[in-house]
Amino acid sequence: MGSQYKKLVPCIYLYKGNAVKDLSDITIIDTNPVGLAKYYSDNHGDELLVFDMSKGDAEHEEALDIIKEICQTAEIPVIGAGNIHRMEDVKKLLYAGCKKAALNYSKPGNITITEEVSKKFGKEKIAACYEEIETILANHELLEEYVDELILVNAAALRESINLWMGGAQILALLPEVSLDKLIEILSAPSICGITGFAINENAKEISAVKSLCQGNGIKVNTFEAAFQWADFKLNSDGHVPVVVQDYKTDEVLMVAYMNEEAYEMTVHTGKMTYYSRSRNELWIKGDTSGHYQYVKSLTADCDMDTILAKVSQVGNACHTGSHSCFFNEIVRKEYEEENPLKVFTSVMHVIEDRKIHPKEGSYTNYLFEKGLDKILKKLGEEATEIVIASKNPNPNEIKYEIADFLYHMMVLMAEKGVSWEEIIEELAKR
């Protein structure tokens, strides 16, 4: 039912592979909408609204591919809108990685499917775009029960919406350029959860400054705010604090670096990992040269307040050698069984993928690849049936064996279709 924070949401109008000016003007403003999405994300947009303005099925599928890439690239949630006619269209947007799908309430068919898609995917996944307050008032019971957020796409109806709408779902208002005073006034309204459109797009570089202005006016916005000041840390003899950097998804240690006060403040302010280079005696924004940025997910101090643990979203590789992690020079090793399930799955997957690229004589995996997709699907179906049969057996060990067999054949299918465990985990995390 809306966030406790007010949102500043950039918007991309996607048409024929380009970002255009708005819903009524197809003037191209950027030929690289994925890069534009990253720009909005880097400048602290809270979410990203993407309208698919494509015509025809072929264009629509191309747009979905771009939206998927946007979702993978932007470090902020994406709301997908436009070209929704049936449940399948909502499914495609959500499976592309969108946080929400926005139904166009100017189309009666979208109103009709509201209950169905909400029950299928969850109320929190569904928004509704509208132009006139009458549309909302006429469907208020449906919206209150099945829609999480409203998106007003007609600025002329803003005042009426603010004054008349008393439903549960808050309104994200798509606005033209407005003054800062007007922006603060709009965001202060209880029914408004955020602002999107030209008003935010044209001031994307100033989103942090606008958020500071909001805070100064008592409006709660989502910002990085450090719980500890630099003076709270115990510094080493050089006046620095070491930083251990982990991949937030896998907990893999990527690197160790150092921060001084300026690097710490910049990291908190920008959301990008910034360090102090002891060899060059200068600040170092990780990725400025290589493009391999590290986006902050969390910063945690240890018990002695002399070391920082950073969990990050790593773009590309962390190590200057091209390795994902700087820690690859094995010194000594005892054999042990890996207990992290994701790592086990990833390890087995690597073997399966290698068999596909480098066939090994006598390998059952290679036999499946050679026979092709139909054989893989046949075996997967057989193993699924074996799970069902084993479930009726009182011996619990049997079902473990059958599930393991199923998972192996499923991974062969994944390798055949080019699907990674990381993609599966990301999808599960959205459910």
Q: Residue 193 carries which side chain, given as an amino acid letter?
A: C
Parts of the chain belonging to CATH 3.10.20.810: 230-314
| 275's tokens | 């360090």
Asked whether the CA dihedral 235, 236, 241, 247 is positive or negative, the reply is negative
Query: Which of the four pLDDT bands, split at 50, 70 and 90, describes residue 430?
Result: low
Rounded Cα–Cα distance for residues 258 and 269 (Å) = 17
* Closest to 43 (Cα-Cα) out of 17, 68, 8, 6: 8
User: What pLDDT, on a 0 to 100 scale, did the predictor assign at position 115?
Assistant: 96
Average pLDDT for the chain: 91
* CATH, range 341-430: 1.10.287.1080
- Mapped onto helix, strand or coil, the DSSP state of residue 348 is helix
Parts of the chain belonging to CATH 1.10.287.1080: 341-430
pLDDT digits (tens, 9 = 90+) for 3-57: 589 999 999 999 999 999 999 999 999 999 999 999 999 888 999 999 999 988 8
Parts of the chain belonging to CATH 3.20.20.70: 7-216
What is the value of pTM for the model shown? 0.74
pLDDT at 1 over 60: no
Rounded Cα–Cα distance for residues 83 and 63 (Å) = 10
Q: Residue 121 carries which side chain, given as an amino acid letter?
A: F
pLDDT at 90 over 80: yes
Residue pair 46/222 in contact (Cβ under 8 Å)? The answer is yes
Mean pLDDT of 61-79: 94
- Mapped onto helix, strand or coil, the DSSP state of residue 295 is strand
* CATH, range 7-216: 3.20.20.70
Of 7-11, 240-244, 278-282, 337-341, the poorest mean pLDDT is in: 337-341
Q: For the chain, give me the number of helices (H) and strands (E)?
A: 17, 17
Query: What backbone torsions phi and psi does residue 137 show, to the nearest 5 degrees?
Result: -65, -35
CATH topology of domain 230-314: Ubiquitin-like (UB roll) (3.10.20)
269: exposed, middle or buried (Cβ count in 10 Å: 0-12, 13-18, 19+)? middle
Upper half-sphere CA count for residue 206 (Cβ side, 13 Å): 9
pLDDT at 340 over 70: no
pLDDT digits (tens, 9 = 90+) for 359-402: 888 889 999 999 999 999 999 999 999 999 999 888 778 888 89
| 156's tokens | 């002329």
